[in-house]
Amino acid sequence: MARYPQVSTQTRSVHATAAPFVNHASPADANYDTANPSYIRKYLRTYGLTPPRAEGYETQKTRCLAQLGLKNTPIDKFLYLSTLRKNNVHLFYRLVTDHLRELTPLIYTPVVGEACQRWSEIYQQPEGMYLSWEDRGNLASVIANWPQPNVEITCITDGSRILGLGDLGINGMGIPIGKLALYTACAGIRPEATLPLTLDLGTSNKALREDPLYMGSRRDKISSEEEREFLDELMGALTERWPGIVIQFEDFKNPFPALERYRDLYTCFNDDIQGTGAVILGGVINAVKRSGLPCKEHRAVFFGAGSAGVGVARQIVEFFMREGMTEDEARNCFYLVDTKGLVTADRGDKLADHKVYFARQDNNGEQYKTLEEVIDHVKPSILMGLSTMGGVFTPEILRKMADWNTAPLIFPLSNPSSKSECDFETAVKNTDGRCLFASGSPFPTCTFTNSAGETRTYYPGQGNNMYVFPGIGLGSILSKAVRVTDSMIYASGEALSQALTSEELERGLLYPDITRIREVSIVVTRKVMRAAQEDKVDRETALRSMSDVEMDNWIKARMYDPHTEVRALEREVGHLLSSLGTISPPLTANGSPTEEKNAKL
């Protein structure tokens, strides 16, 4: 066998030896890619370590999908895909980008919810960082252990409110991993530039603390003052190692204090308040148009007044104001309901700060205790579910919405699917097919014959953050934004609302087809960057003079594309070898070796 010299070189994707620690973002194990032609295997000294045939992507894909098909449960499929990501990161992302509709539910909501619930049991490999309360004072040195040098974005959770599933402690790690996988799949942020981060700050979940398999510390959750102290150190340590890093907060039980404290100091945002707010804004802009009712005639009941509820309501207030209403008029359209009933100023309990803005003053001392009472009182045109209470939008409530409205907006947004306030089929059937629907987790399409005897296939909207957070992150990275401003968040939702094709609009969709998400993310990214430019928080100021078309091309050229990445490895090794004048593979005009030329296509 011809031996190529081992060259000490730092290229982005060639790793001549396996890293001592392999995380999900490491391309090191792609060294064993069965698609590598023989000259690469020889260069990497993996020749002979994989089956001889250098196979094409279609063959690899066929095998992976067949193996996935052999897995009987969603968790088995989740684990299979996690292992694939570790073993061959580019192949994993090729597969995910080609099969977004089928695979995102397996690596993200809803299956990631079950994975987090069973993390202690299913854990197999390190895929992110865990930082404990005991590490305080030393966070910078622990962070120095992360093996990837160029991290551009991190997603952090303390596990205290994972989806609608409650406090799962460090078992929430599935969420940062899943979200960051979507940053890569949907917006092309390089896998090794992402850092999943879980804070081990104790858990209020007693069952977990008593579970012998639980891998976090067994202390009770630290106080909010202690958490603030910890986060102060963490934010400093992260930005010290990776200046300009974009920091996404995710699934904190009370996310408001950290957002307020850091939003003007660091490039950070909270996905549950701002990402959810923006993505629902995008769907609502389209649904309001389709409802035929002007903004000022809409009445919105929100079941759930937590971070997501208030985040969504705030974005829609902004939209109504941009449509010509005053702030008071806009705010007056909203009725927030929490566990104690309608949020009013005179309810007698101390309202959490974030609810005060929406507390009703016009209830004449009357209190409405249940969702049903509020709905009968308001007769809303918009029903939003952010309660994490599966099935509370009953057929009776849905039928009332259809009685009062030609096209009611029904948005059961809680995740995962088991927590959704209603499913798509129930909503379609009980509104005679007239609802404008979006849910947080995916539901199948539904075929239904309405009262006029027309049979149609109805398509559910998936109003999931995944349509916007990848673009918010990429836009912040590429514009080198010093902050993530409110206009950047609003711009992401507005861009999304404008991203539907005429064919999608005809099909009655509120959100673009998920298979187009990379295309959509480019538009979202550009609008986020434009908003950063207008707010003058961009440090990459040379981009301001670019036209939209130029900017889209510029963004696209910077997105990681797993399909071309594998060719890049071939080109890098090919050029390297020919520049050394050693035994080199024959190169074609475009730099791609002729030997096994089509193997990876």
Ligand X SMILES: O=C([O-])CC(=O)C(=O)O
Q: Any idea which residues carry the catalytic annotation? A: 108, 179
Cβ–Cβ under 8 Å, residues 498 and 281:
no
Residues 6+ apart with CB under 8 A from 36: 44, 46, 50, 54, 569
Cβ–Cβ under 8 Å, residues 494 and 281:
yes
Separation in Å, CA 31 to CA 34, 367, 465: 9, 65, 34
Residues 67-89 as b or e (16 or more Cβ within 10 Å = b)? ebeeeeebbebbbbbbebbbebb
Which of ligand X, Mg ion, none does 584 bind, CB closer than 5 to 8 A by kind? none
**For 214, left (φ over 0), alpha (ψ -120 to 50), or beta?**
beta
Which lies closer to Mg ion via its Cβ, residue 180 or residue 435? 180
Rounded distance, CA 390 to CA 398, Å? 14
Residues interacting with ligand X, by CB under 6 A? 109, 163, 251, 271-272, 415, 440, 464-465
Which lies closer to ligand X via its Cβ, residue 174 or residue 512? 174
Which lies closer to ligand X via its Cβ, residue 464 or residue 584? 464
DSSP-derived 3-state class of residue 458: strand
Closest distance to ligand X from the beta carbon of 553 (Å): 31
| CB burial of residue 571 (10 Å; 0-12, 13-18, 19+) | middle
Closest distance to ligand X from the beta carbon of 163 (Å): 4
Which lies closer to ligand X via its Cβ, residue 160 or residue 217? 160
Of 272, 318, 423, 572, which lies in the binding site for Mg ion, with binding defined by CB under 5 A? 272
Residues 6+ apart with CB under 8 A from 364: none
Which lies closer to ligand X via its Cβ, residue 202 or residue 385? 385
Which lies closer to ligand X via its Cβ, residue 192 or residue 251? 251
Which lies closer to ligand X via its Cβ, residue 88 or residue 205? 205
Rounded distance, CA 128 to CA 25, Å? 9
Cβ–Cβ under 8 Å, residues 551 and 526:
yes
Rounded distance, CA 76 to CA 84, Å? 12
Closest distance to ligand X from the beta carbon of 440 (Å): 6
Rounded distance, CA 345 to CA 362, Å? 9
Closest distance to ligand X from the beta carbon of 416 (Å): 7
Which lies closer to ligand X via its Cβ, residue 169 or residue 440? 440
Which of Mg ion, ligand X, none does 494 bind, CB closer than 5 to 8 A by kind? none
Q: Is 251 annotated as a binding residue?
A: yes
Which of Mg ion, ligand X, none does 415 bind, CB closer than 5 to 8 A by kind? ligand X
If you search the block for the tokens 């836009």, which residue do you land on?
475
Element (H, E) at 277: helix 276-291
Total binding residues toward Mg ion, as defined by CB under 5 A: 3
Residues 6+ apart with CB under 8 A from 339: none
Beta bridge partners of 388: none
Q: At what angle do helices 486-497 and 276-291 cross, to 10 degrees?
A: 40
Closest distance to ligand X from the beta carbon of 309 (Å): 12
Closest distance to Mg ion from the beta carbon of 500 (Å): 25
Which lies closer to Mg ion via its Cβ, residue 73 or residue 204? 204
Give me the half-sphere count of Cα atoms (radius 13 Å) on the Cβ side of residue 159.
31
Q: Is 219 annotated as a binding residue?
A: no
Which lies closer to ligand X via its Cβ, residue 217 or residue 420? 420
Rounded distance, CA 35 to CA 22, Å? 20
Rounded distance, CA 520 to CA 498, Å? 10
Binding flag, residue 494, Mg ion (CB under 5 A): no
Task: Give the Cβ contact number of residue 16 at 10 Å.
Answer: 15
Cβ–Cβ under 8 Å, residues 167 and 160:
yes
Closest distance to Mg ion from the beta carbon of 271 (Å): 6
Closest distance to Mg ion from the beta carbon of 491 (Å): 21
The length of the chain is: 601
Rounded distance, CA 547 to CA 321, Å? 29
Q: Is 190 annotated as a binding residue?
A: no
Q: Is 415 annotated as a binding residue?
A: yes
Give me the half-sphere count of Cα atoms (radius 13 Å) on the Cβ side of residue 191.
27
Closest distance to ligand X from the beta carbon of 247 (Å): 15
Looking at residue 177, what DSSP letter applies? H
Token representation of residue 107: 């690596």
Token representation of residue 313: 């309501």
End-to-end Cα spacing for the chain: 26
Cβ–Cβ under 8 Å, residues 415 and 110:
yes
Binding flag, residue 158, Mg ion (CB under 5 A): no
Which of Mg ion, ligand X, none does 464 bind, CB closer than 5 to 8 A by kind? ligand X
Cβ–Cβ under 8 Å, residues 448 and 434:
no
Closest distance to Mg ion from the beta carbon of 104 (Å): 15
Residues 6+ apart with CB under 8 A from 553: none
DSSP-derived 3-state class of residue 57: helix
Q: Binding pattern to Mg ion, positions 314-353, x when CB under 5 A?
A: ----------------------------------------
Binding flag, residue 251, Mg ion (CB under 5 A): yes
Residues that constitute the known binding site for (S)-malate: 161, 415, 464
Residues that constitute the known binding site for a divalent metal cation: 250-251, 272
Q: Site residues (CB under 5 A) for Mg ion?
A: 250-251, 272
Residues that constitute the known binding site: 161, 250-251, 272, 415, 464
